[in-house]
Amino acid sequence: MGWFDSRLGLSYQLLRPAPQYSVNPFYWLGALATVAFVIQGVTGAIMMLYYVPSPTQAYATTQYIFQNVSYGTFLETIHLYTAYAMIMLAFMHLMRGYFVSVHKKPRELMWVTGMVMGFVTLGFGFTGYLLPWTIVSKSATDVGIGMMGALPQPLANFLTFLIVGSGTDAGELLRFFDLHVFVLPAVLLVLLVVKMYMLEAHGVSEPTTGIESLPPKKRKLIPIFPDVSFYLVELAALFGSAVIIISVIFPLSLPPEYSASLAGQYVSQPDWYFLWVYQILKISALEEAGLSVALSVVTLIFIALVLLPFIDRGKTRSIRDRIVYVTLGAIFAAEVAVLAVWGYLTPGIAIPDETAGLVLGGTALLVTMGTVVAYKAVFGGLRSIVKGRASGAPQKPPAVSKSVSSRSAAVWTSGIFVCLLVAGAYFIGDSISGVIALRLGASGALLSLVVSLAGLSLTVVGTMFLLYRLDLGSGLIRRRIRAFELGWKE
Amino acid sequence: MSDEQSVAEKNTVVTERMGLRIVSLLLIIGTISVFMLWSVNPVGSGRESTFALFLAVDLVSVAMISYVGRSVTREGRMARAPLIAGCCMILFLVLTGIYLLS
């Protein structure tokens, strides 16, 4: 190692050292997404040796890779799963950044750059999906292109020109290929350099509780080489092995080739990362209002995310003092997950307004209750938080009792709450299935729907009872119940 | 030099020796799995799975070597749990790979 170091200058401090507390996978989700991007670059370059971007040959050459190229199925599977992993990691990176307020001064532009990188990542998914020219990919892409036409002008014209070209299948596929292989990687690399430059300027973000709250050992700075580099190698290798193992368990198979006659029989549906958007567009009220109104709702969500640093301008980064934003973030993440699963289960079925209201409202209610209980359990009560904020008292978290009974009560409370959440999620899913079955006229569907709605109601009542008892635990009753003892103050 | 310092130094030396042995063993496992994965006939999906599993063995070995290197040089001690988990994972992957090969 010393020999290489003296020749290559590996230990020369080119990059600023990172704090010890950043040796944590959650600080490196973006780095893992970059690793996924590199793996896709390598596997994609190998596949490009065989692939021909023409409607008459795209499917045949993809099939050739699957059947005749050594390790071809493995390459295709890894390429797809790392793309999925990249999107998932980018989303986790976004949500983690949101919850720990990395978008606040001085990192506003890092957030905006990261959001643009997220859109480019989704663009990779959209453009890459068409390339195998299967019935699944072509139908879903056609739906996506159709939706673009409903966007406000001149954006609609610009996007249509950019990705459809002359309007022929050949022109469309070639443009998608060029975007996927040359344009988007180049844009992503430039944005990556810009973001890395800003990361180098600002450093790793501090913990939300402030750097003073950490022990000196955690505050210590460690060099990028070898400490952080070794850690990143470790994470990247584990990530790679996880993707490989998943690809062995669930190998990819190629759907049938696209043909106009087959397309008529197939219910088109986008890939999972666009399913939540697809599901929003299927809500009856939005469908009736027109595609442009529905797309405007989705566009507004994206714009709000990009402009978040200029909307959430409070100075505090503490999670304790941002209950509204934390709750909104948790609702957003939960709604995206519920909409995606729901969209997967109901391809091509319009969603009645009442069902949409019940499911989305129920999810929001459960998540809000969950956040309130979590705040109560972790920070010791909303009243104290509100009081602390109103009186301008220091925003440090209260000292947590380390007594065994308090810990045990916390475990019990969390356990009961997790059970309620799981039950809530199950009954929401069961209600959706019940509604679908009812619409399809299945026998016993009404009974199943009634049972699941009753279960959902019981879960909501149970959660409210838990909240009620936690409040009573603050000293108004004397009869202790171990499971609800957490908020008790003598 | 106090007793505590000398005990800490002895522990560091022991950890370094242990680390060296573990890294050597992992390098041997990695080399064997590289040899195995490139000797597999790539035609057929079962064979591709074997290739993939031996590649995963390599990656887990690299992760463990990196962990050992980082722990020994910076902290002077290693936690057992990650090493045991890594060894179990390697064993499982190798056995599954051999099973698929047969």
Q: What percent of chain B has pLDDT over 70?
A: 93
Which has the minimum average pLDDT: A158-162, A421-425, B42-46, B53-57?
B42-46
Q: Is residue A26 part of a domain?
A: yes
Partner-chain residue, chosen from A71, A227, A235, that has the shortest CB–CB distance to B48: A71
Which has the minimum average pLDDT: A7-11, A197-201, A244-248, A448-452?
A7-11
Q: How confident is the model at residue A329 (pLDDT cuts 50, 70, 90)?
A: very high
Q: How confident is the model at residue A403 (pLDDT cuts 50, 70, 90)?
A: low
CA distance B28 to chain A (A): 17
Q: Is residue A347 part of a domain?
A: yes
Q: Is residue A98 part of a domain?
A: yes
Same domain, A272 and A336: no
Q: What is the CATH number of the domain that holds A27?
A: 1.20.810.10
Q: CB of A157 within 8 A of CB of A165?
A: no
Probe site for chain A from B39, B41, B60 (most A CB atoms < 10 A):
B60
Residue A405 has pLDDT above 70, yes or no: no
Residue A480 has pLDDT above 50, yes or no: no
Crossing angle between the packed helical segments A229-249 and A72-99, to the nearest 10 degrees: 130
Q: Is residue A272 part of a domain?
A: yes
Same domain, A85 and A205: yes
User: What's the total number of domains in chain A?
Assistant: 2
pLDDT in tens, B49-80: 888 999 999 999 999 999 998 888 777 778 88
Residue A368 has pLDDT above 80, yes or no: yes
Same domain, A57 and A144: yes
Cβ separation of A227 and B70 shorter than 8 Å?
yes
Partner-chain residue, chosen from A234, A235, A244, that has the shortest CB–CB distance to B56: A244
Q: Is residue A93 part of a domain?
A: yes
Residue A456 vs residues A124, A336, A416, A465, B70: alpha-carbon distances, Å: 39, 20, 16, 14, 49
Question: Whole-angstrom distance between the N-terminal and C-terminal Cα of chain A?
Answer: 60
Same domain, A70 and A195: yes
Task: Bin A350: left if φ > 0, else alpha if -120 < ψ < 50, else beta.
Answer: beta
Partner-chain residue, chosen from B51, B60, B69, that has the shortest CB–CB distance to A71: B51
pLDDT in tens, A86-130: 999 999 999 999 999 999 988 999 999 999 999 999 999 999 999
CA quadruple A14, A16, A17, A19: dihedral, nearest 10: -160
Same domain, A185 and A58: yes
Q: CB of A243 within 8 A of CB of A85?
A: yes
* Contacting residues of A for B49, CB less than 8 Å apart: 248, 251
Cβ separation of A71 and B74 shorter than 8 Å?
no
Q: Coil, strand or helix: which one is A476?
A: coil
In the prediction, which pLDDT does A39 show?
96
Phi/psi of residue A283, nearest 5 degrees: -65, 130
Q: CB of A207 within 8 A of CB of A214?
A: yes
In the prediction, which pLDDT does A490 show?
39
In the prediction, which pLDDT does A54 show?
93
Interface residue A244 vs chain B (CB under 8 A): yes
* Contacting residues of A for B44, CB less than 8 Å apart: none
CA distance A237 to chain B (A): 5
Strands A221-222 and A18-19: antiparallel
In the prediction, which pLDDT does B86 show?
93
Query: How far is the C-alpha of A46 from the C-alpha of A75, rounded, in Å?
Result: 8
Same domain, A337 and A472: yes
Same domain, A384 and A239: no
Q: Token digits for B2?
A: 């106090």
Cβ separation of A231 and B66 shorter than 8 Å?
yes
Probe site for chain A from B59, B65, B91, B94 (most A CB atoms < 10 A):
B59
Q: Coil, strand or helix: which one is A283?
A: strand
ipTM above 0.85, yes or no: yes
**How many CB atoms neighbour CB B58 within 10 A?**
25
Query: How far is the C-alpha of A18 from the C-alpha of A224, rounded, in Å?
Result: 7
Q: How many interface pairs between A and B have CB atoms less than 8 angstroms apart?
A: 63
Cβ separation of A248 and B49 shorter than 8 Å?
yes
Q: Is residue A155 part of a domain?
A: yes
Rounded to two decimals, the pTM is 0.79
Q: Which residues contact A5 (CB under 8 A, 6 or more apart)?
A: A11
Q: Is residue A316 part of a domain?
A: no
Range list of H helices, A100-228: 108-130, 135-148, 155-164, 169-178, 184-202, 216-219
Interface residue A231 vs chain B (CB under 8 A): yes
Q: What percent of chain A has pLDDT over 90?
A: 37
Q: Residue A101 belongs to what domain range?
A: 14-255+268-276+287-294
Cβ separation of A237 and B59 shorter than 8 Å?
yes
Same domain, A23 and A143: yes
Q: How confident is the model at residue A337 (pLDDT cuts 50, 70, 90)?
A: very high
* Contacting residues of A for B91, CB less than 8 Å apart: none
